[in-house]
């Protein structure tokens, strides 16, 4: 078992890691496709969960056979997703307790997500964690998507900490690879939508943060 307090800094992916939002994103994508005249389901999201927004959107265009402009798709999705987030997003079991423990130990903590800034800030505000983190890295802050380590390397730089002193929490194979390529140990979070992902390089896999407390 990893000694989770034996680090100076902790970086958390957001969707599927800090919060149980991947299923909400999948539902919003399916609803968007239906609104655009196509057909899609939450199950279609399993194949691309963890991928870049462009990859995810292209997949749903293909699955649902829709042809609307991407700007319109993004607009509909944002409305659908914000509605679901505001009423249904839930914090992963034990996450708030772990964050409180880390703060009490004066640890540095941050969020590193491939989501856009509006998604990340909206979710963190909804779950009352918007003032918890020392750094927030979103899609707009980097040029390359996970598994490229750019986002994690940027977080390490902003926190003025080393990879050896940092523990990462991730729920996708690309996220785990990004964390490992940044030189950090990574704990994988397993849930219903990532059963096909490769967690072999994770230092540990858990279902929620209660297992660490």
Based on the residue annotation, tell me whether 3 is a catalytic residue of this protein. no
CA 159 remoteness from chain centre? 19
Task: Find out whether 192 and 26 touch, Cβ atoms under 8 Å.
Answer: no
Main-chain phi, psi angles of 167, to 5 degrees: -115, 135
Task: From the candidates 3, 8, 13, 192, give the one annotated as an active-site residue.
Answer: 13
Q: What is d(CA 175, CA 188) in angstroms, rounded to the nearest whole number?
A: 9
CA-closest candidate to residue 81, choices 127, 118, 124: 118
Distance between terminal CA atoms of the chain?
Answer: 12
- Residues contacting 37, CB < 8 A, separation 6+: 66, 68
- Within 13 Å of residue 55, how many CA atoms lie on the same side as its CB? 13
**Residue count of the chain:** 213
Give the catalytic positions in this structure: 13
């Amino acid at each position: 078992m990893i000694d989770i307090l034996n680090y100076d800094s902790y970086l958390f992916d957001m969707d599927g890691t800090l919060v149980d939002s991947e299923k909400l994103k999948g539902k919003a994508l399916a609803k968007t496709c239906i609104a655009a005249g196509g057909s899609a389901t939450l199950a279609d999201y399993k194949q691309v969960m963890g991928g870049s927004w462009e990859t995810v959107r292209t997949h749903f265009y293909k699955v649902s056979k829709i042809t609307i402009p991407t700007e319109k798709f993004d607009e509909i999705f944002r409305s659908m997703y914000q509605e679901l987030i505001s009423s249904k997003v839930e914090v992963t079991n034990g996450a708030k307790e772990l964050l409180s423990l880390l703060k009490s130990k004066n640890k540095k903590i941050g969020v590193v997500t491939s989501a856009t800034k509006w998604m990340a800030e909206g979710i963190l505000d909804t779950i009352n964690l918007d003032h918890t983190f020392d750094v927030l890295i979103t899609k707009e802050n980097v040029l390359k998507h996970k598994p490229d380590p750019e986002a994690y390397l940027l977080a390490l730089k902003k926190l003025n900490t080393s990879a050896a002193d940092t523990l990462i929490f991730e729920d996708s194979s690309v996220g785990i690879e990004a964390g490992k390529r940044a030189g950090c140990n990574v704990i994988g979070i397993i849930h219903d939508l990532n059963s096909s992902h490769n967690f072999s390089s994770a230092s540990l896999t858990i279902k929620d943060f209660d297992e660490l407390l």
